[in-house]
Structure 1
Amino acid sequence: MVMFVSLMTELTTFVWHTTKTNCPAEMMNVIVNMPHLVYIYLEQFNVLDKLPESHHFPQSLRELHLSADVIKQDPMPILEKLPCLVVLVLQGYDGHTMCCSAQRFPCLQELQLFEFSIEEWRMEIGAMPKLSHLTFAWCKKMSKLPEGLLHLPSLTYLDLSYMPLISEDDNTLKELREKGCEVE
């Protein structure tokens, strides 16, 4: 199948939904050789060991959905360099911390994070300047929201679902509400 898919270099949308297998490295290599991809949906993997470097991803990529039981490496240092990314949906990162650098994710407007095991999210000032919608769901180890959220000028909507350690007393949560951000 990988050989067949590798011949489709003009695709703009790639969807691969599998039932609980590991994401093979050769499939990731095929995707990076499709320079016209705008939408990528890779869903329902057991384990994703490693993402390709950002310069290998199609630079035209606007939407990425990546779902696995376990994503072993912090995806942000790679994905934050994609210049046109507008929507990012991630599920299954199994690390303790996640980092977003300043001046990265320049076009990102919507970010959805599901079932992350992170305890801390570090955000530098200037990251994600256009982010307007943020969803956290089932990130059960996160005990406080990152203060970096307060520096997102476009954030208007925050969805916190099944986040048992985030309380109504969280300072970042309070300040976001004061700034007019809708929180659910």
Structure 2
Amino acid sequence: MVKIFRKMRQLTTLFLVMKPMHAKIMNIFAYMPHLVDIHLASFGVLDKLPESNHFPQSLRHLYLEADVIEIDPMPILEKLPCLVVLELSGYKGRTMSFSAQGFPRLQELKLDIFSIEEWRMEVGTMPKLSHLTLWLCKEMWKFPSGLLHLPSLKNLKLMSKSLISGDDSTLKELERRGCKVEL
């Protein structure tokens, strides 16, 4: 299958669901420089993503689903210069970090079935993020205060029973600033 994909150099959209999906499938991106939309689903365990230079630099929408993503994918994905929408499912690491220059064009972030103890957000990260959706965020007791550093955040959805209290100080400050919050 990889041999077939290598010949599709002009492809702009890739939608691939296989059970189980093998991590090596990501090696095909090097042969598809025009991809703007990637949807990959049904990885089992995805221990590590390839470096950001292995992804097409024109990528605008990435959907990535795995049963378990073991290593924080954000330091790699935040370097994609054109990424506007990121949908990520299955991250089960201890921390998730967003650096100050990360995700320069990201407008929508959806995190699904993830479990983290610590969520770090440096000032300057995701300057254009307007929509954040969190679905089945296990182990999350409070919103990270770094959300207050996102100047464009207008919509925050928490889609599942959560351990986060409606009295969360970050949540209250976001609402005060005009962010629409759905719990």
TM-score, L = length of structure 1: 0.96
Q: How does 1:17-96 map to 2 (within 5 A)?
A: 17-19=17-19, 21-25=20-24, 27-96=25-94
Aligned to 2:134: 136
Q: Which amino acid aligns with 2:4?
A: F
Please list every run of 5 or more consecutive structure 2 residues that lacks an aligned counterpart in the other structure.
none
Q: Which amino acid aligns with 2:94?
A: H
Q: How does 1:84-163 map to 2 (within 5 A)?
A: 84-163=82-161
Q: CA deviation at 1:128?
A: 0.1
Q: CA deviation at 1:163?
A: 4.6
Aligned to 2:162: 164
Whether the 8 Å CA contact 1:140–1:162 is kept in 2: the answer is: no
Aligned to 1:10: 10
Write the distance in 2 (CA, Å) between the matches of 1:116 and 1:61. 23
Write the distance in 2 (CA, Å) between the matches of 1:24 and 1:119. 25
Is 1:181 the counterpart of 2:179? The answer is: yes
Whether the 8 Å CA contact 2:21–2:41 is kept in 1: the answer is: no
| SS of equivalent residue, structure 1 residue 115 | strand
Q: CA deviation at 1:174?
A: 0.5
Whether the 8 Å CA contact 1:22–1:46 is kept in 2: the answer is: yes
Write the distance in 1 (CA, Å) between the matches of 2:74 and 2:53. 14
Evaluate the alpha carbon distance shift between residue 87 and residue 4 of structure 1 in structure 2; reply closer, same or farther with a 3 A threshold: same
Q: CA deviation at 1:51?
A: 0.8
Write the distance in 2 (CA, Å) between the matches of 1:4 and 1:22. 16
**How many residues are matched?**
182
Whether the 8 Å CA contact 2:65–2:89 is kept in 1: the answer is: yes
Q: Which amino acid aligns with 2:12?
A: T
Q: Which amino acid aligns with 2:157?
A: D
Cα deviations by residue, 1:46-65 (Å, 9 ceiling, x for unpaired): 12122110112110000000
Whether the 8 Å CA contact 2:13–2:38 is kept in 1: the answer is: yes
Please list every run of 5 or more consecutive structure 1 residues that lacks an aligned counterpart in the other structure.
none
Identity over aligned residues, as a percent?
63
Whether the 8 Å CA contact 1:22–1:47 is kept in 2: the answer is: no
Q: Which amino acid aligns with 1:60?
A: S
Write the distance in 2 (CA, Å) between the matches of 1:42 and 1:110. 18
Write the distance in 2 (CA, Å) between the matches of 1:61 and 1:105. 12
Q: Runs (4+) of structure 1 moved beyond 6 Å?
A: none
Q: CA deviation at 1:86?
A: 0.1
TM-score, L = length of structure 2: 0.96
Cα deviations by residue, 1:127-180 (Å, 9 ceiling, x for unpaired): 000000000110110111111111111100000112521111111001000001
Whether the 8 Å CA contact 1:142–1:163 is kept in 2: the answer is: no
Write the distance in 2 (CA, Å) between the matches of 1:107 and 1:88. 11
